Amino acid sequence: MLALFAEAGRIFIFLKNAILVGLTPPVFPRQILDQMLKIGYNSLPVVGLTAFFTGAVLALQIYIGGSRFNAESLVSSIVALGITRELGPVLAGLMVAGRIAASIAAELGTMRVTEQIDALVTLSTNPYRYLVAPRLIAAVICMPLLVSIADTIGIMGGYIIGTRSLGFNSGAYLKNTVDFLQFDDVSSGLIKSAVFGFIIALMGCYHGFNSKGGAQGVGRATTNAVVSASILILAANYLMTSLLFSE
Amino acid sequence: MSQPHIELTDVRKSFGPKHVLNGLSVKVDKGHSLVVIGGSGTGKSVMLKCILGILHPDAGSIRIDGEEVAGLTGGARDRFLARFGMLFQGAALFDSLPVWQNVAFRLIQGHNMARKQARDIAVEKLGQVGLGAEVADLFPAELSGGMQKRVGLARAVAADPEIIFFDEPTTGLDPIMADVINNLIVDCVKRLGATTISITHDMASARKIADDIAMIYKGKIIWQGAAETIDESGNPYVEQFIHGSAEGPIQMELLKP
């Protein structure tokens, strides 16, 4: 229990440095663009596939469940709500946590144990500015973009199953989707996803920065980054949902 | 009497129960080359990292030109670090950047130099360590250990620093490449007129690049003198070290089988 608080304290100090030092000039636009490419663009396939299958399976399950009380007509609207409010951000967050928290932790961890981070310092470049800040910024920008694409693909997955194998009328399905969906449904999901992006980059950077002890230490940092990012995403998701939807 | 360029007084640093630096004091005059010798785990690297502020000493004072530098922050620390260059033991090249961007890193990021001009300087610095322009666009992983060390040296001297640290510059190299590196270090230091601290346990390297030699043992300097006098030190610890003998006052903490 004490160890947990000590870890939380270290993360908080790291966060403080990342924001107070990392987010001050000079900024490194090249690094930010590079990270956006890695975090955002390169995550598109995995996030897209996840969203497609999730939307498809959601349509199937709701159809099966809904048929028990003659509510099959709700399939399109529930798919849209489920994807935009919950499954889009959370599943994309978890997939990106697996990809990006791991790769950030492994990269920075290797830089730590091979003294590259110390070398940065001796070259008058603050590692919080050069390494941490670009990753945080890129993740916070990219996650909402990724999730808005995931939302679209997820709804499309439901639409394809709905119209091809469940026998819905294409026009009616789309009309129901659009009519029921409110701006809040989408925006709350996007706000969540920005926070998830921050969590992913922070955990990757924190564990990478503090890795020690060669290859084994880097391996441990990578595992810890993915596990802690995933759990924090799920916890933050509950917390934000209870805040954002408690009107 | 001019003040020493670098002066450490009674510096202490512990990691948990382990006292790594135990009241270490050492002085280096301007333009001098000090080589610190000592076994593994005696605190040599920790000493350099304390001076650079990568580690914070628990106690003691570190002065450059008489000015206390331990605990500098923000812009003052940036200006302080701008006077340094360091060659790391494993070269510590940034493996995401090609060689020339490694060498020109400080020029591009710190001095906002145009990339074209920075590249020209990088190629020139690579030439000074005996590497051709064709190496500039390779990545560090494509180079041999000796070439990485030379690129590391070029990076350390690229912005003409006044103080240079060498962390085990010859470790892991064959004797010939080690001597090549030693010569390059001597050349670079002479050209820049820099003050240097090197840490090594390679006596051949120490004799070649040192003006003064200091021996560190259990976190303290136990002997310091001119490089020529090392053979007549009269210090049993130094004698044992330079002759590389297992018999003597320094006992390795080994479990006897």
- Within a domain: B118: yes
- Within a domain: A131: yes
Task: Count the neighbouring beta carbons within 10 Å of the beta carbon of residue A15.
Answer: 17
pLDDT per residue over B218-239, tens digit each?
888 888 888 888 888 888 888 8
Task: Count the neighbouring beta carbons within 10 Å of the beta carbon of residue B67.
Answer: 10
CB contact under 8 A, A121 and B94: no
Choose the closest CB to B106 out of A28, A116, A123.
A123
- In chain A, whose CA is at the least distance from the CA of B104? A123
CB contact under 8 A, B94 and A119: yes
- Within a domain: B226: no
Residue A44, domain extent = 29-235
User: What is the pTM for the complete model shown?
Assistant: 0.86
Q: Whose structure tokens read 């002997």?
A: B223
- Within a domain: B78: no
Choose the closest CB to A122 out of B52, B90, B93.
B52
- In chain A, whose CA is at the least distance from the CA of B158? A123
pLDDT per residue over A220-244, tens digit each?
999 999 999 999 999 999 999 888 7
Choose the closest CB to B88 out of A107, A119, A124.
A119
pLDDT, chain A, mean = 90
Count of domains observed in chain B:
1
Identify the residue among A28, A35, A117, A124 best suited for mutation to test binding to B, counting B beta carbons within 10 A and taking the highest: A124
Task: State how far the Cα of A52 lies from the Cα of A44, in Å rounded to an integer.
Answer: 12
- Determine the distance in angstroms separating the CA of B63 from the nearest CA of chain A, rounded to an integer: 17
pLDDT of residue A230: 95
Count of domains observed in chain A:
1
pLDDT per residue over A10-58, tens digit each?
998 888 888 888 788 888 888 899 999 999 899 999 999 999 999 999 9
Structure token pair of residue B2 = 């001019």
Query: What value of ipTM does the predicted structure carry?
Result: 0.83
Task: State how far the Cα of A135 lies from the Cα of A209, in Å rounded to an integer.
Answer: 13
How open is the CA angle A220-A48-A97, to the nearest 5 degrees? 20
Structure token pair of residue B183 = 């010569």
- Within a domain: A121: yes
Task: State how far the Cα of A107 lies from the Cα of A224, in Å rounded to an integer.
Answer: 14
Task: State how far the Cα of B230 lies from the Cα of B242, in Å rounded to an integer.
Answer: 8
- Within a domain: A240: no
User: Binning pLDDT at 50, 70 and 90, where does residue B1 land?
Assistant: very low
DSSP letter, residue A27:
P
- Within a domain: A78: yes
- Chain A / chain B CB contacts < 8 angstroms: 53
- Within a domain: B234: no
Residues of chain A in contact with residue B93, where contact means CB-CB under 8 angstroms, are 116, 119
pLDDT of residue A182: 86
pLDDT of residue B253: 61
Residue B127, domain extent = 93-154
Q: DSSP states of A217-235 as a string?
A: HHHHHHHHHHHHHHHHHHH
pLDDT per residue over A80-115, tens digit each?
989 998 899 999 999 999 999 999 999 999 999 988
- In chain A, whose CA is at the least distance from the CA of B152? A119
Tell me, what amino acid is at A197?
G
- Within a domain: A15: no
pLDDT at A247 over 80: no
- Within a domain: B73: no
- Within a domain: A112: yes
DSSP letter, residue B201:
S
Q: How far is CA A23 from the centre of its chain?
A: 21
Orientation angle between helical segments A133-164 and A29-39, nearest 10 degrees: 30
pLDDT at B257 over 60: no
pLDDT per residue over B85-128, tens digit each?
899 888 889 988 999 999 988 888 877 788 888 888 889 888 88
Q: Which of A226-240, B23-37, B141-155 has the highest mean pLDDT?
A: A226-240
Residues of chain A in contact with residue B105, where contact means CB-CB under 8 angstroms, are 123, 125
CB contact under 8 A, A124 and B85: no
Identify the residue among A104, A115, A130 best suited for mutation to test binding to B, counting B beta carbons within 10 A and taking the highest: A115
Residues of chain B in contact with residue A129, where contact means CB-CB under 8 angstroms, are none
CB contact under 8 A, B92 and A114: yes
- Determine the distance in angstroms separating the CA of B208 from the nearest CA of chain A, rounded to an integer: 25
